[in-house]
Chains A and B, each alone.
Chain A
Amino acid sequence: MPLDTKTTGFKYIGTRPDRPDGIDKVTGKARYGADAYAPGMLHGVMVRSPHAHAKIKNIDASKALALKGVKAVVTRADFPTGLEGEDWNIQENCMAGEVALYDGHAVAAVAATSLLLAREAAKLIEVDYEVLPHVTDVDEAMKPGAPAIRAGAADYSVPEGLHPNVMRYIEYGHGDLEAGFAAADLVMENTYKTEATHQGYIEPHACLAQLGADGKGEMWVCTQGHWFVRRMSAAALGIDVANLRVTPSEIGGGFGGKTTVFIEPVALALSRKAGKPVKMVMTRSEVLRATGPTSSSSIDVKMGMKKDGTMTAAKVTMRMQGGAFPMAPIDSALDCAFSCYNIPAVHHEGYDVLANRPKQAAYRAPGSPMAAFATESLVDEMCRALKLDPLKTRLQNASREGTKASFGPTFPRIGLVETLEAAIAHPHYAAPLGPNQGRGVASGYWMNWGGETSVSAALGEDGSVTVSVGTPDIGGSRASMALMAAEALGIPYENVRVNIADTGSLGVNEPTHGSRATYASGLATIEAVKQISTKLCQRAADKWGIPVEAVIWEDGSAKPSGPNAGEFPPLTIGELAAEMGGTGGPISGHFEATPSGHGGSFGTHIVDVEVDPETGYTSVLRYTVVQDAGKAIHPAYVEGQFQGGAAQGIGWALNEEYIYGADGRLQNTVFLDYRIPVASDLPMIDTVIVEVPNPGHPYGVRGVGETGITPPLPAVANAVHAAAGVRLRSLPMSPPRILAAIKAKG
């Protein structure tokens, strides 16, 4: 798709206006998922498996149904059969069939006239289980003798002889690996492990569902992508998508975890059975036990390097469990593993493995943080062994435009070199350190995404413009869309209102995921409002009696242009809009596409930590994020994405983990025990926005939402090593683990 690109001379792009949804959000007026109400509404509660792996022999709901006020109970018997592939996986994850596959797996649900009553009724539903052997660790799940969770479900890619828990196998690479390692002065190989973490969004999943006996329904839901919710829920229930209208609420964080469904099809099933609207809101424990955390991983990395720092060869073998369902993100993890470097010989191997854990969901740059932890830790170890500067070594080997990427294609214009140069020049990199303090650096990559996108824009009678997009606003995207529309039309930011439209109002939109909202919905917004200015030029041309080719749109007005256009005073958007009813009728624009020019984003982080040798506690003293944004539409929200990614990555590195007991049950199901970083745990995170324009967007935008979580895991590990002299190759680096490593070192 040819684009009229513009990368300089902006009037509105790059400014920092207040977000239009800000006042409602800070004054409590904004409506989130749990704020939806309907007349006659029931409350739904899930019954969940207390076992990691168990056959469901019988479900008796008679005692629950005998309670006054209990209106419906659903089990898997209330869902259609015959689904295949990912549709079946989603249905099975929302409501177990014959076997409960993990601790917290839903096995039944009840709807009642009050939440208290529904909770009481859920306790009265008797489920007869036959407990089965379980496995929760990825390496254990691949060993002979591990319980087979879904024997025979592996796809075409899995070679014979592997454990039936291996669902997919991937292998690829290029170059002569043997020759590459032979040419190296130093070859190092280590194994790294990361635990599963949760996105930790503050707002739990919530929805209000209404589905009639005629198969027509409506749902209000907290989600990153309501078209996904519609498609998945409709498939799970066997109804047509057009019969289900889904409206998104405001959203209190998602980070990838709200791109799928958990309670929504069940709420619809309860509503269909009870004949009433049903509201479901997850508790925090339910969120941690039964939504989608990340995969856990076990990774072998081997790299070769010359004395001068030149990388000669690299090999990675990655094992990831994604819960009791396939599709752990081994693909993207492998693609990102060596993406920062121009290495002549690379080889990747990956195993997607089942374990008795919840179905993994996306979390900011799915797979990339784990891969970066392994490869960027090893790069640091090699730089130390060869006494090389870690940032200059990265710069020496950095991928740039024209590099054959480790995953195959040739890179277009990218900005890794610029982030490394900015990091090297940053005062942070040369600042002095005190006792027990250390500095770590790391780089990271995410390829970003375009995705199905549909946007409409409508001109109001006073010249203001309403833009309807299908990507829920999580991090300030309304403001970014309004800025791009204002820039394209030459009208004030305040004259653009951006609405998040429901599934009945636009064509299919993928969620706000893949760092795509500002890129893809932004591109579509620009193209949609350009249709408005084109139509306004026609109205002006008609009024002046000149050809439309002799009219240009500039600074919010139609102006005559060219030698034969004649002399006419400009007509403003307000003047033209006021007359549009009499000059041809309403004016709107619409654009839909699956844009494919999303440019990847690279980042480089610097972190200083202090490790207490008595307790193993790590304090993060200073943190700097340097990342390529292409063009920062609203710099404050770009910085916010950088800071958020760093904060979550620090949590993943130092504290967060899913802790399973010997019984396969999750031990830390509340935020007191699942420790995410809070403001008092972190310094102010400094940011540097690098702008290497993406040629695939009219204003050069690259998505920025995901890359920021990739470098922190290895950067913090490298800093801990520098501070305490111990190399931790297993996350999280919690105080007891660091203390044990210090003691073991002696």
Chain B
Amino acid sequence: MVKVHLWSGLRRFTDGADVVEVRARTVGEMMKALVEAHPGLEPVIKAGVSVSVDGKLIARGLHEPVTDDSEVFLLRQLKGG
């Protein structure tokens, strides 16, 4: 199971947890599994998030692999100047 770290403000959509476990092999599967397990996250993910996998910030790479050992963070979408 992949452990996904969420920012604290999302705890109300995940029964208070800021780390949730989902079964996934890619970022895309992980997003889908997150929404299936916690439907309240759907508008958050739809509005746009970034995913950090082992320190690499992935914006839209749904095919990027994740493993049970990956360090995964769901982050707010960022923009630069």
Interface residues of A (CB under 8 A from B): 85, 155-157, 169-173, 199, 255-257, 259, 329, 331-332, 335, 362-366, 407-412, 446-452, 513-516, 594, 596-598, 696, 703, 705-706
Contacts and interface: CB of A to CB of B under 8 A. Distances in A.
B24 to A, nearest CB: 18
Given A171-B7, A598-B57, A256 B52 contact: no
Q: Which 6 A-B pairs have the closest CB atoms?
A: A256-B81, A514-B80, A172-B7, A362-B81, A331-B76, A409-B52
17 contacts: A155-B43, A157-B9, A172-B9, A332-B78, A335-B78, A362-B79, A366-B79, A408-B5, A411-B55, A447-B57, A448-B80, A449-B78, A452-B60, A513-B79, A596-B57, A596-B64, A706-B81
A594 B9 contact: no
Interface of B: 5, 7-9, 18, 40, 43-44, 47, 52, 54-61, 64, 71, 73, 75-81
Contact of A331 (B44, B64, B73, B78): B78
A409 B55 contact: yes
Nearest to B60: A594
A259 B81 contact: yes
Contact of A409 (B47, B73, B81): B73
User: Of B5, B60, B81, which is in contact with the most chain A CB atoms at under 10 Å from its CB?
Assistant: B81
B55 A450 contact: no
Nearest to B78: A332
B77 A331 contact: yes
A446 B80 CA distance: 9
A107 B16 CA distance: 46
A170 B9 contact: yes
Contacts of B43: 155-156
B79 A596 contact: no
A363 B81 contact: yes
B14 to A, nearest CB: 13
A451 B78 contact: no
Nearest to B58: A596
Given A331-B77, A409-B73, A171 B59 contact: no
A514 B79 CA distance: 6
A513 B59 contact: no
Contacts of A447: 57, 78
B49 to A, nearest CB: 10
B76 A170 contact: yes
B75 A407 contact: yes
Nearest to B5: A408
Contacts of A365: 80-81
A703 B78 CA distance: 15
Contacts of B73: 408-409
Contacts of B54: 409-410
Contacts of B61: 594, 596
A253 to B, nearest CB: 12
Contacts of B18: 172
Contacts of A199: 81
A410 B9 contact: no
Contacts of B55: 409-412
B7 A597 contact: no
Contact of A169 (B9, B40, B59, B81): B9
B52 A171 contact: no
Contacts of B81: 199, 255-257, 259, 362-366, 513-514, 705-706
Nearest to B9: A171
A644 to B, nearest CB: 12
A331 B74 CA distance: 13
User: Of B56, B58, B60, B73, which is in contact with the most chain A CB atoms at under 10 Å from its CB?
Assistant: B56
A706 B7 CA distance: 25
A493 to B, nearest CB: 28
A408 B5 CA distance: 8
Nearest to B55: A412
Contact of B79 (A155, A329, A412, A597): A329
Contacts of B64: 596
A234 to B, nearest CB: 19
Contacts of A364: 81
Nearest to A336: B78
Nearest to B41: A156
B56 to A, nearest CB: 5
Contacts of B75: 335, 407-409
A627 B28 CA distance: 36
Given A256-B80, A594-B61, A172 B8 contact: yes
Nearest to A451: B59
Contacts of A516: 80
B40 to A, nearest CB: 8
A44 to B, nearest CB: 27
Given A447-B57, A449-B78, 19 more contacts: A156-B43, A170-B7, A255-B81, A362-B79, A362-B80, A363-B81, A364-B81, A365-B80, A407-B75, A408-B52, A409-B54, A412-B56, A447-B78, A449-B80, A594-B59, A596-B56, A596-B58, A705-B81, A706-B80
A452 B60 CA distance: 9
A365 B75 CA distance: 17
A447 B50 CA distance: 13
Contacts of B7: 170-172, 408
Contact of A515 (B40, B44, B77, B80): B80
Nearest to B56: A596
Nearest to B72: A409
B57 to A, nearest CB: 6
User: Of A257, A335, A364, A407, which is in contact with the most chain B CB atoms at under 10 Å from its CB?
Assistant: A407
A408 B57 CA distance: 12
B54 to A, nearest CB: 8
A516 B80 CA distance: 9
A703 B80 CA distance: 11
Nearest to A404: B71
Contacts of B79: 259, 329, 332, 362, 366, 449, 513-514
A527 to B, nearest CB: 16
Contacts of B40: 156
Contact of B56 (A513, A696, A706): A696
Nearest to A515: B80
A598 B61 CA distance: 14
B27 to A, nearest CB: 10
Contacts of B78: 331-332, 335, 447, 449, 514
A85 B80 CA distance: 20
B52 A513 contact: no
User: Of A85, A157, A363, which is in contact with the most chain B CB atoms at under 10 Å from its CB?
Assistant: A157
Contact of A513 (B5, B47, B80): B80
B56 A366 contact: no
A598 B59 CA distance: 12
B4 to A, nearest CB: 11
A566 to B, nearest CB: 42
Contacts of A172: 7-9, 18
B6 to A, nearest CB: 8
A594 B27 CA distance: 14
A169 B7 CA distance: 11
Contacts of A155: 43, 47
A660 B51 CA distance: 39
User: Of B9, B40, B75, B77, which is in contact with the most chain A CB atoms at under 10 Å from its CB?
Assistant: B9
